[in-house]
Amino acid sequence: MSSYYFTIIGTKDAPIYELEFSSFKLSSHQIPGKSQFPPNIKEILPFITHSSLDLIEESQWSNNQYNLGKIDSFYGISINAFITQGNIKFVICYDNNSANSKYDESSIKQFFVEVNDLYVKVLMNPFYSVNDAITSPDFDLKVKLLARKYL
């Protein structure tokens, strides 16, 4: 059972949305959706995400896909990223202990694509401006639903 840390990062390197969750699949005795990161990892997750921005910016110019795939890893934490047309970065960190990483890659991609849809909807809100934190509970709920669906 993997745990995930998902962040949307604005153009000024500041996160505008953060979510920590775990896979809803195979959850046996733990609270479903509650991330299982050990505390010491949990603490450095933002740092990992932040440092992976370097790699995202590196690969965004050598890649014409929105989904950048797995771009970094740190001690067993893998980082996948997605970049929107507006240079907003979606970054997901997960502990890579599931056996079928191929499957993971594609579902993360699906997850990114759908979150992008949600993000565009948020962006279209006239009261929202770029790089503002996304505080909409509706957005939060929908992202969680997507997480449940794909991850």
Partner 1 sequence: MDRYNYISPGRVKVLVVPINGCDEQQFQCYYKQVSSCNEVRLLDITPMTELKHFNPQTSPNGRIIYEYDMVVPDNESIFLHDFEPFRKTFIVIGLGKYNDKSLDQYQQMNNDLKKEFPSTIIQNCVFFDTPIEKVEEFNPKTDHSMKSCLFLNESISLESLICDVSRNFLFHLDDYVSSYSNITLRSPVSITDSQLLSKTISKAQKRLSSGSSLKVSFNSNNQLSPAELKGNTQVRHNGRQSKLLASFYLLSGKYVEAMNNFADALLYLKKSEDYMWLGSALEGMGVAIVLMNYTGISYQLPNAILASVLHLSKSKIRDMSIDNTVNKRLSNDNLSTNGRLSYNGNGSKILSPRTSSSSGVSFNLPIGAAPDLNGIAVPELVKQLQDKSNTYFQLSANDFENTVPDLVYIESILRYLHFMIHVFKNGSNINNNFFETLVKNSPPTPDTITNPWYNKNNILNELDKIFSLQLIDLNLIDQCRIYSRLSLIYNDLNMFRKKAFMLRTLIVAILPQLSNQPNESSDSIVTQITNTFDISTIKSIIIDLFNIYQINKQPELKSDDSYENTSSNWNSMQLSLIKLSIKVFENLKDHETLASIFCLSLTRYLHCLPIDDEYKIREKMIGTVRDFGTKIPYPDPYLLRGFKLINNKAQDELIPFSEFQGTEIGEATPLQTPNPANPSFVFDPFNKPTPKSIEKDKLIIKNEIYQLRVLLQNPYSFEIEVNDIDIVSNSKTQVIRSGVRNMFHNVNKSQSKVSLNNPKLRSEKPSSPLVNDFQSNQLIIPPKSIETFIVPFKPLVPGNLIIEGCKIKIGACEERFFPIISEEYNEKLIKLKDYQKFENPKLGDGFEIQDPLQTIVDNLRDNKVLHRVDCTTMELNVLDPQPTLSLLNLSATNGWLMLLEGEKHEFSIDLINQSNQPINYLSFSFWDSTIQNLTKKLSNSSIGVNINAFEMYELEWYLYKYKTFKILNKQEINEKYKPIKANGEIEIKYEITGKKNMTDSKMILEYGNKLNDLTKCFVKNIEIPLKVTVVPSIEMVNLDIMPLFLSSLNGLIKSQSNANLTNLKEFIDNLDQNISDYCLILLDMRNSWKETLQVDIEFDKFQVKESIKANTVSRFLIPMKRVSVKDHDFTKIIPSIRNKQFIKDYSITESEDMEMRQSFWLRNLILDKVQGHWKFHEREGIIDFRNIRLNTKMVNYIIYPKIKILHEIWNEEDEMIKRTGSQFLLKTGEFYSFKTIITNFDSKPLDGVIRHLPFPIIDNNINNSILKEQSMDKKIVINGVLQSKLPQTIHPNESVDINLSFVILENGEFEWGSLLDVLEDDNSYKITAREPVYIVASA
For 31, which DSSP code? P
11 is an interface residue for partner 1 by CB under 8 A: yes
Measured CA to CA in angstroms, residue 148 lies from 21, 34, 49, 94, 98 at distances of 9, 11, 22, 15, 16
Binding segment for partner 1 among 27-35, 50-58, 113-121, 141-149 (CB under 8 A)?
Answer: 50-58
**CA gap 34, 44 in Å, rounded:** 18
- Among the listed residues 1, 27, 36, 50, the single contact to partner 1 using CB under 8 A: 50
118-147 positions binding partner 1, by CB under 8 A:
126, 129-133
**Interface residues toward partner 1, by CB under 8 A:** 10-16, 43, 46-48, 50-55, 58, 73-76, 87, 126, 129-133
